[in-house]
């Protein structure tokens, strides 16, 4: 089988390629990626010499590039996106162009090439925010109510994917998942930023009161969920994927930061309260009972175990993240957090 992966040099895409090639060694992978600031081929050094793996540098917004590279693909797994909420507040246009425009180009091409399945990787942020004091969770029937340019652009892409299924019969599946963490995550997102800052003896920037809640999903659990959807998920269906095991309560950002302080061996003087994100969603939580019931998926371990593994990975891969934190990232960091 030939898989056309978009955004495979980014965090989740690279983890997915490594996971897939380990578990499906006979399949062929085309990694189609523009290599924006978030794309890093270092993430794939383990597989780059494999005859089953091919990298194509290209832009999902360009039909001719997409069409040449997608030729002969059986399955498209679409990860490529502008993915960071704070950057979407600084520059919404990039998000609309890539996340909406780029997705539409891919859908057209997948239709022409009659792929067997177009799998779209989306986010729980399209559903908006839940109240802090509530125990409600997002599920597949939750109405869309995005608040940031990022989530609005992902919502637009989800609607287009379903429109291509309804209008043209494109065989699609969609996953809406919560916040991923794990190896190779660009250190602009909370967990890798917190860990690497502490390892550099810098503080963790905490937005607002720190009482915002996310539903943390280890990236390998996410990759396994996508694998199950590709293998057994029903065409046309959406599956919500969350990381918190049954019966576990909410974990807010301050609690996440304090757990990381403990794992790195620092005290609370390394927390720095900074200005809040505009339009900051208070709480996310996912009801993942559908994917459990229909496909037998659930997260392997709980948050504390995966967090410990993740901190250990960043401690062992200082070369990887130091290189990533140099260069253009510094200009972004200064703009976002000041000097």
Q: Which of 284, 297, 303, 314 binds ligand DAU (CB under 6 A)?
A: 284
Options 82, 124, 158, 281, the catalytic residue:
124
> What does 85 bind: ligand NAD, ligand DAU, none (CB cut-off 5 to 8 Å by kind)?
ligand DAU
> What does 220 bind: ligand DAU, ligand NAD, none (CB cut-off 5 to 8 Å by kind)?
none
> What does 12 bind: ligand DAU, ligand NAD, none (CB cut-off 5 to 8 Å by kind)?
ligand NAD
Shortest distance, CB of residue 40 to ligand NAD, whole angstroms?
Answer: 7
Active site (annotated) includes residue 33: no
> What does 105 bind: ligand DAU, ligand NAD, none (CB cut-off 5 to 8 Å by kind)?
none
∠ CA 148-94-322, nearest 5°, is 90
Check if the beta carbon of residue 210 is closer than 8 Å to that of residue 257: yes
> What does 325 bind: ligand NAD, ligand DAU, none (CB cut-off 5 to 8 Å by kind)?
none
Active site (annotated) includes residue 305: no
How far apart (Å, rounded) are the C-alpha atoms in residues 329 and 337?
12
Burial classification of residue 119, based on how many CB atoms lie within 10 Å of its CB (0-12 exposed, 13-18 middle, 19 or more buried): buried
Check if the beta carbon of residue 317 is closer than 8 Å to that of residue 183: yes
34 contacts ligand NAD (rule: CB under 6 A): yes
Nearby residues of 25 by Cβ (< 8 Å), 6 or more positions away: 52
Q: Which residue has the tokens 């410990």?
A: 308
Residues 114-173 that bind ligand DAU (CB under 6 A): 123-125
325 contacts ligand NAD (rule: CB under 6 A): no
Nearby residues of 178 by Cβ (< 8 Å), 6 or more positions away: 123, 124, 214, 215, 216, 217, 241, 242, 243, 284, 285, 286
Residues 37-96 that bind ligand NAD (CB under 6 A): 38-39, 59-61, 79-83
How far apart (Å, rounded) are the C-alpha atoms in residues 32 and 5?
6
Options 59, 65, 125, 220, the catalytic residue:
125
How far apart (Å, rounded) are the C-alpha atoms in residues 161 and 65?
20
Q: Which of 36, 67, 289, 336 binds ligand NAD (CB under 6 A)?
A: 36
Active site (annotated) includes residue 42: no
Using CB under 6 A, which of the segments 178-186, 204-212, 315-323, 327-335 binds ligand NAD? 178-186
Q: Which of 142, 157, 173, 179 binds ligand DAU (CB under 6 A)?
A: 179
Tokens coding 223 = 């990759």
Active site residues: 124-125, 150
């Amino acid at each position: 089988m030939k898989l056309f992966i978009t955004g495979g040099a980014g965090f989740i895409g690279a983890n997915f390629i490594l996971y897939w090639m380990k578990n499906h060694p006979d399949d062929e992978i085309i990694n189609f990626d523009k290599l924006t600031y978030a794309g890093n081929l270092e993430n794939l050094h383990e597989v780059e010499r494999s005859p089953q793996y091919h990298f194509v540098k290209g832009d999902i917004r360009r039909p001719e590039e997409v069409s040449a590279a997608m030729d002969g693909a059986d399955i498209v797994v679409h990860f490529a996106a502008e993915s960071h909420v704070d950057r979407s507040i600084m520059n919404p246009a990039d998000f609309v162009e890539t996340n909406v425009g780029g997705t539409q180009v891919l859908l057209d091409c997948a239709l022409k090439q009659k792929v067997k399945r177009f799998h779209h990787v989306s986010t729980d942020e399209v559903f908006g925010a839940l109240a802090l004091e509530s125990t409600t969770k997002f599920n597949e029937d939750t109405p869309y109510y995005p608040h940031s340019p990022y989530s609005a652009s992902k919502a637009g892409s989800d609607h287009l994917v379903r429109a291509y299924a309804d209008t043209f019969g494109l065989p699609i599946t969609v996953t809406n998942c919560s916040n991923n963490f794990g190896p190779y995550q660009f250190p602009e997102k909370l967990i890798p930023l917190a860990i690497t800052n502490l390892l550099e003896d810098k503080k963790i920037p905490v937005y607002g009161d720190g009482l915002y809640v996310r539903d943390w999903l280890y990236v390998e659990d996410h990759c396994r969920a996508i694998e199950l959807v590709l293998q057994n998920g029903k065409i046309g269906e959406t599956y919500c994927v969350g990381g918190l095991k049954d019966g576990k309560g909410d974990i807010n950002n301050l609690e996440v930061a304090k757990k990381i302080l403990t794992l790195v061996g620092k005290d609370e003087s390394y927390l720095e309260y900074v200005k809040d994100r505009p339009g900051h969603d208070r709480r996310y939580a996912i009801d993942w009972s559908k994917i459990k019931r229909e496909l037998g998926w659930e997260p392997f371990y709980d948050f504390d175990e995966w967090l410990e593994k993740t901190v250990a990975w960043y401690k062992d891969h200082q070369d990887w993240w130091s290189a990533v934190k140099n260069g253009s990232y510094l200009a972004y960091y200064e703009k976002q957090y000041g000097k």
